[in-house]
Amino acid sequence: MKPPPFTYHAPTTVEEAVDVLAEVGEDGKVLAGGQSLIPLLNFRLAAPEHLVDVNGIGALDRIALDDDVVRVSAGVRHARLERHQAVYAACPLLRQALVHVAHPVVRNRGTVCGSIAHADPAGELTAVLVLLDGTVHLAAQRAGQLARRDVPGSDFFRGVFEADVGADELVEAVTFPRLPARAGSAFVEVARRHGDYAVCGAGATVQLDERGRIAAARLAFISVGPVPVAVDLTELLAGAAPARVRLEAVAEQARAAVRPGSDLHASAEYRRHLAGVLAARALQEAVADARDRRDRRREP
């Protein structure tokens, strides 16, 4: 289980990185945290001729918050984002999901952008991106110049390990919108062992109105299809008092939306069942989170 040989590139700027990527094209692969890529190499399931290591690009080691979004650059490790208090205040779903990503030691090295670029249908952050409708910021060299393009989170994932990112493109950053006032979020999952890829996972966001009734609610699921599955519950729930929500209807809508497959760890039928169970749980937790945040804001 030793990786195959490759040519190593260690750019120190984004410009250098995209130049190398343009040069090596399909034969290249970006190395960030390596927590998904290096196992593939060690198993010799992948053998890129070139690795472009972005760990030395100081400019990519940034978390930036503005009035609207949290921007996470390509060098940011899961653990750093998870511990970031201002990010938690702005966008709690990130921490709520990140604690389910593997184990703390893996999160110390793995990167947020790497997880998204990897497009693993079991990756928690894929659901976060879709649920929040964040944006993926890509960089590439076009005609000798650094060119950037943005892809909406809801359009980014194309299939199992496939996303809208070219071989010559670098996921430079991802932005996640701030959670609005009177909103809450949650992430729940069932995994065989704590820290494993989920058999099924669900993220939820809920927007309450001034009277505490549901104004909007959305879910996104992992491990139940080739890409994250988003479910908008707004039509079903708008105007409902949270206590009056018919959870069975929520579960049913979730079960109808997912497209799970069977594998070693779970049958399609069980995953579909879990999608219903977790839909209800995620929704309830998100409502509780919204109320918690409202209550905390009210405190002097």
Partner 1 sequence: MTADDLHEFTLVVNGRPRELRVPARRLLSDALRHDLGLTGTHVGCEHGVCGCCTVLLDGEPVRSCLAFAVSVAGHEVTTVEGLAGPDGTLHPVQQAFAECHGLQCGFCTPGFVMAVCGLLADQPEPTEEQALEGISGNLCRCTGYQNILRAVHRAAELLAEQGDRP
Partner 2 sequence: MTTRLFGEGIARREDPRLLRGEGRYLDDLGSDALEVAFVRSPHAHARITDIDVADALDVDGLVALYVHEDLPARLREPLPLLIPHPALTQPRTACCLADAVVRHVGEPVAMVVATDRYVAEDAAERIDVTYEPLEPVVGLDAAARGAARVHDDVPGNVAAALVQEVGDVDAALAQAPHTLDLALEIERSASTPLEARGVYARWDADDGTLRVYSSTQTPTSVRFAVAAKLGLPAEKVECVAPDVGGGFGVKIMHPWAEEILVPWAARLLGRPVKWTEDRVEHFVAATHERAQTHDITVGFDDDGRILGLDVRFRHDNGAYVPYGLIVPIITATQLPGPYKLGAYRVAFESLYSTTCPVTPYRGAGRPQACFAMERTVDAIAARLERDRAAVRAANLIAPDEMPYDIGLVFQDGRPAIYDSGDFPATLAKVRELIGWDDFPRLKAEAAAEGRRLGIGLACYVEGTGVGPYEGGHVHVETSGRVNVYTGLSSQGQGHATVFAQIVATELGVPLDDVHVTTGDTRRFPYAVGTFASRAAVMSGSAIALAARKVRAKALRIAAEALEANPDDLEISEGIVRVKGSPGDAIPLKAVAVLSNPLRYAFDESARAATQFALPASEDRPPIADDDEPGLEGRDYYSPLRSTFANGMHAAVVETDPDTAEVRILRYAVVHDCGPLINPRIVEGQIHGGVAQGIAGALYERMAYDEAGQLTNASFMDFLMPYATEIPAIAIDHLETPSPLNPLGIKGAGEAGVIPVSAALAAAIEDAEGIPIHRMPLSPDELHALRARAGGEAS
Query: Do residues 218 and 231 make contact, with C-beta atoms less than 8 angstroms apart?
Result: yes
Which stretch in 51-59, 131-139, 175-183, 220-228 sits in contact with partner 1 by CB under 8 A? 51-59
* C-beta of 1 vs 243, nearer to partner 2: 1
Name which position in 5, 85, 144, 235 contacts partner 1 (CB under 8 A).
5
Contact between 3 and partner 1 by CB under 8 A: the answer reads yes
Residue 173 interacts with which of partner 1, partner 2, none, CB < 5 to 8 Å by class: none
Contact between 55 and partner 1 by CB under 8 A: the answer reads yes
* C-beta of 49 vs 164, nearer to partner 1: 49
CA dist., res. 51 & res. 60, Å (int): 17
Chain residues that interact with partner 2, rule: CB under 8 A = 1-5, 39, 43-44, 103, 190, 192-197, 199, 264-267, 269-270, 273-274, 277
* C-beta of 195 vs 226, nearer to partner 2: 195
Contact between 8 and partner 1 by CB under 8 A: the answer reads yes
Nearest distance from residue 181's CB to partner 1, in Å?
31
Binding to partner 1 (CB under 8 A): which residues in 97-116? 102-106, 108-109
Which positions touch partner 1 (CB under 8 A)?
A: 1-8, 10, 31, 34-35, 38-39, 41-43, 51, 53, 55, 79, 102-106, 108-109, 194-195
